[in-house]
Amino acid sequence: MNSDKASDFFLPNFCERRMVFAVVVLAELFAFILTLAQASYASEPWLDLALISLFMQWTSLSGAAVLCLLRKWLERLEPVWAIVATYLLLLLVIVAMTEAAFVVLGGTMFIPRAGNHLDFLLRNIAIGGIVSALALRYFYMQQQMRKRLQAEASARLDALHARIRPHFLFNSMNTIASLIGSHPEQAEEAVEDLSDLFRASLGKENHFLPLAEELYLTHRYLHIEGLRLGERLQVEWQIAYGVDTLLLPLLILQPLVENAVYHGIEPRPDGGTVIIGAAKSGDELQLWVSNPVVEAETITPRSGNRVALNNIRERLAAHYGEQATLTMSSGEERVVVRITLPLQQGRETK
Amino acid sequence: MRVVIADDETLARERLKRFLNDISGSEVVGEAAEGGRAVELCQQQRPDVVLLDIRMPGVDGLEAARHIITLAEPPAIIFTTAYGDYALQAFETQAIDYLLKPIRKERLEQALGRAERLSVTRLEALREEGGKRARTHLSVTSHGTLRLVPLNEVLYFQADMKYVTARTRGESLLLDESLKSLEDEFAERLLRIHRNALVMKEALVGLERDNDGGGVALIRDVSDKLEISRRHLPEVRRWIKGRE
């Protein structure tokens, strides 16, 4: 947890050698800019550069040192307060270094160049304040961008996971490996089934297909799982007449069935029956998948149920808005997931 | 080397069996499709190694392991799994050997070669990292044989001198665990009613006053009346109220 938070912090780590080097270089560049800006009326530009550099280096390195030392404390603050505190700390360093310059160099050639004490102090605070604000803004933006990139990467990984379904993939691979020796024809079929399924799940997302094709994919899926689970997996089909050509988004039904097998059949020593149904009702298409209830107390609960359902729910919402619903109801004996979609005839869109 | 195979999938077991037949010096002495059966086989056959699938219906692999290591002469345990379960990371940190399915023959041979017994502490540590799941069964040793009793059958636990017993509808079972560890593991399902007694919440049917004004707990299916200590009485009452 701690290290996660540290990498989330908006300030780079000023304790690192790389960062210290960057601070030195930037401070020097800034010293150049300041010198150049006043070079038109300065009589001894190199001396100016030397003095400004000296001051800049001391101030920026002290600032870095302070941020390095107080990093742990700053990390613990709320983000907003951390930013405010960092800003105030930097201003404090600037004031302290200005005063220190007066004490150390008081009465030397430095002072005449600096102008009077108060004027010098105010100018430094103004310049330092603006530069610090810009720097903090930059660090903050950079952190936001880093965060967004991380979020995107993990979302992409999740989506890939959902498509590849590692649990299913590796179980199927194991089944195939077992079959090759003893039942080569079945192994061959399993490879074909697996290819069909992955071609579908790695294909275009916004694809609509007739229910018959989705049922075909579901059959392929159940065939593989049947090899693996044997007698434990029983399937009952309740497909009404005349629904074959109705259109629905790709992979809506099959993941529901997979979910039912994973949560309702696999954890039961004796397995059970998955019921898969489809029927027209008015101007709606109804799909349902049910599996036996698994008593949570006797069997290790499996996580991830919501994830699969939420994924389907989101895709339904993307396609149909509020016209489609997905509900899950748990009775005494069976868990039923029901999907209602607006009717859409195959021939009209294809 | 005598091996017991535990995996709920017939094909997976067959493949392992084929490999073990090819590996010289190894012999399959039992097959289980479920964790409870695996524990039984380990006890009857006294194998040198047990191959335990992590995901099994009923008693899963991790729980079976916890029961197996309580046997008098526990076999070495090698876990198998098809996909990176949450537990795998814990396995890595605990340096516990596991095989990923489909298992390679050479890897199996290797694992058999260096299989060693799991220590209780390592398995406990595994449980801590694996999300601290409670067991679904208790192991009970009677007349030298180990038996798994579903936690669902237990009505209450009672400590008496130095023994802890689990009361089911039909019998009292001697456990080799402390009340404290039971309370920690099954915190959600147990209610402490006395320094020496924990009651399964679903077995607690009522509360009665005894002659001294103290409380007595009534337990489902049995006529036992358990004393509720003064200290725990308010909480027991609150719990019964909350349920109604």
Q: Give which of B43, B64, A250, A332 is closest to B51, Cα–Cα.
A: B64
Q: Report the chain B residue with the minimal C-alpha distance to residue A263.
A: B57
Q: Give which of A296, A304, A301, A275 is closest to A287, Cα–Cα.
A: A275
From the CA of A269, how many Å to the nearest CA of chain B? 5
pLDDT at residue A262 greater than cutoff 50: yes
- Give the pLDDT confidence of A315-335 residue by residue, as tens digits: 899 889 899 999 999 888 999
Q: Give which of B12, B20, B78, B73 is closest to B42, Cα–Cα.
A: B73
pLDDT for residue A157? 80
Distance CA A115, CA A124 (A): 12
Question: What's the pLDDT band for A65 if we cut at 50, 70, 90?
Answer: very high
pLDDT for residue B187? 87
Q: A45-49, A102-106, B171-175 — which one is most confidently predicted on average?
A: B171-175
Mean pLDDT of chain B: 86
From the CA of A56, how many Å to the nearest CA of chain B? 49
Strands of the sheet containing B215-219, edge to edge, are B204-209, B215-219, B225-228
- Integer CA distances (angstroms), A335 to A25, A30, A46, B56, B103, in order: 66, 68, 83, 21, 34
Distance CA B85, CA B61 (A): 12
Distance CA A139, CA A111 (A): 34
Contact check, Cβ <8 Å, A228/B60: no
Question: What's the pLDDT band for A304 if we cut at 50, 70, 90?
Answer: low
- Give the pLDDT confidence of B92-114 residue by residue, as tens digits: 766 678 899 899 999 999 998 88
- Give the pLDDT confidence of A171-230 residue by residue, as tens digits: 999 999 999 988 999 999 999 999 999 998 887 767 889 999 999 999 999 999 999 999
Contact check, Cβ <8 Å, B84/A267: no
Question: What's the pLDDT band for B156 if we cut at 50, 70, 90?
Answer: very high
Distance CA B139, CA B68 (A): 9
B7 touches A228 (CB < 8 A): no
Contact check, Cβ <8 Å, A181/B15: yes
Distance CA B44, CA A334 (A): 37
Chain B residues in contact with A184 (beta carbon < 8 A): none
pLDDT for residue B86? 62
pLDDT for residue B129? 63
- The backbone torsions φ and ψ at residue B144, rounded to the nearest 5 degrees and listed phi first, read 80, -5
Q: Which residue would you say has higher pLDDT here, A240 or A39?
A: A240
Distance CA A247, CA A243 (A): 9
pLDDT at residue B130 greater than cutoff 60: no
The structure tokens 């605990």 sit at B94
pLDDT for residue A40? 59
Mean pLDDT calculated for residue range A81-88? 91
Q: A229-233, A291-295, B63-67 — which one is most confidently predicted on average?
A: A229-233
Cβ burial, residue A273 (10 Å; 0-12/13-18/19+): middle
Q: Give which of A327, A347, A346, A345 is closest to A337, Cα–Cα.
A: A327
Distance CA B239, CA A103 (A): 72
> What are the contacts of B93-98 at 24+ separation with CB within 8 A?
B93/B129, B94/B122, B94/B125, B94/B126, B94/B129, B96/B122, B96/B126, B98/B54
pLDDT at residue A303 greater than cutoff 70: no
pLDDT at residue A79 greater than cutoff 80: yes
Distance CA A48, CA A114 (A): 10
Question: What are A164's two structure tokens?
Answer: 């590849």
Torsion sign (Cα): B206, B210, B213, B216: negative
Q: Give which of B102, B9, B11, B111 is closest to B51, Cα–Cα.
A: B111
Q: Give which of B142, B200, B192, B207 is closest to B168, Cα–Cα.
A: B200
- Give the pLDDT confidence of A238-249 residue by residue, as tens digits: 999 999 999 999
Distance CA B182, CA A89 (A): 53
The answer to whether A186 contacts chain B (CB < 8 Å) is no
Q: Report the chain B residue with the minimal C-alpha distance to residue A264.
A: B57
Distance CA B155, CA A63 (A): 66
CB atoms within 10 A of CB A200: 21
Contact check, Cβ <8 Å, B101/A170: yes
Name the strand (E) or helix (H) holding B157: strand B154-160
Those residues whose C-beta lies under 8 Å from the C-beta of residue B33, and which sit 6 or more positions away, are A269, B6, B7, B8, B10, B13, B56
Is the full-model pTM beyond 0.90?
no
Q: Give which of A190, A321, A338, A164 is closest to A252, Cα–Cα.
A: A338
pLDDT for residue A112? 55
pLDDT for residue B127? 66
Q: How far is CA A319 from the centre of its chain?
A: 23
Distance CA B62, CA B65 (A): 5
Contact check, Cβ <8 Å, B33/A297: no
Q: Which residue would you say has higher pLDDT here, A305 or B237?
A: B237
The answer to whether A296 contacts chain B (CB < 8 Å) is no
CB atoms within 10 A of CB A245: 13
Q: Which residue would you say has higher pLDDT here, A262 or B122?
A: A262
pLDDT at residue A300 greater than cutoff 70: no
Chain A residues in contact with B10 (beta carbon < 8 A): 230
Name the strand (E) or helix (H) holding A235: strand A233-239
Distance CA A139, CA A124 (A): 22
Share of chain B above pLDDT 70, in %: 91
Question: What's the pLDDT band for A298 if we cut at 50, 70, 90?
Answer: very low
pLDDT for residue A331? 87
Question: What are B42's two structure tokens?
Answer: 């380990």
pLDDT for residue A348? 46
The rounded radius of gyration (Å) of the Cα atoms in chain B is: 21
Question: What are A34's two structure tokens?
Answer: 């300041």
Testing the interface with B: which of A178, A225, A231, A297 to mutate, by most B Cβ within 10 A? A178
Verify cis geometry, omega within 30 degrees of 0, for the bond prior to B102.
yes
Mean pLDDT calculated for residue range A98-112? 71
- Can you tell me the ipTM of this complex? 0.76
- Give the pLDDT confidence of A130-159 residue by residue, as tens digits: 999 999 999 889 888 988 888 888 888 877
Mean pLDDT calculated for residue range B5-27? 93
From the CA of B213, how many Å to the nearest CA of chain A? 36
Q: Which residue would you say has higher pLDDT here, A5 or A25?
A: A25
pLDDT at residue A162 greater than cutoff 80: no
Q: Report the chain B residue with the minimal C-alpha distance to residue A187.
A: B11
Q: Give which of B105, B133, B146 is closest to A296, Cα–Cα.
A: B133
pLDDT for residue B132? 61
